[in-house]
Structure 1
Amino acid sequence: MEKKDRIMFYHSKGWAALRQQALSRDNYECLWCKEEGRVSSGTLEVDHIKDLEHYPELALNLDNLRTLCKDHHNQRHHRMEYSSKAHRKTPKWDDERWD
């Protein structure tokens, strides 16, 4: 599925309704946070387990959806570096230390 088609899909009424079903089914909780024994905080997003880009036939399959917080969704798609050093402040000056 091309990018323009995915954009149209994510603005469709069908997606909006299915997204609400997935959020309700998952009790408005990030499933990965729940597995870690934490309570979700922040924005919740609905993730396609098998990517929409490669599996468009599963786009509206509720079993292919899961609720993730924004951080876990970004982590899942490798949108940001998630190492222990990634969350540390980068010093502006050589003599600035935050350890």
Structure 2
Amino acid sequence: MSLQEKFRIKTVYEISYSDLETIIKTVYGHSVELVLEEEWGNDEKHDIIVGAGKLDKWDLEILTDFKETGKGTYGITRILLEDMCSGELLDPGNYLISICW
């Protein structure tokens, strides 16, 4: 058995946080500062697994509040990605958010 057999190949959708903020502004009409809301630091990458239909009632409350007021909170990135996936704007999968400024 080779060492390589222990690894698996997977598809990942990678995007910079600033490009994702632009998409969110286009889709929802509100600006959001993902680095601030998620407490991310420079030179980090965050993997978010997105699959349609994974929003619970608390997530839906946060989503409704964001849609109405533009108010973000911790976890807003996953919630918005899930919402865009369930609305068929994004495919389900692993999304890697790159932070660099």
Structure-2-length-normalised TM-score:
0.28
- Bigger Rg over Cα: 1
Q: Which one has the bigger helix percentage?
A: 2
Structure-1-length-normalised TM-score:
0.28
Q: Which one has the bigger strand percentage?
A: 2
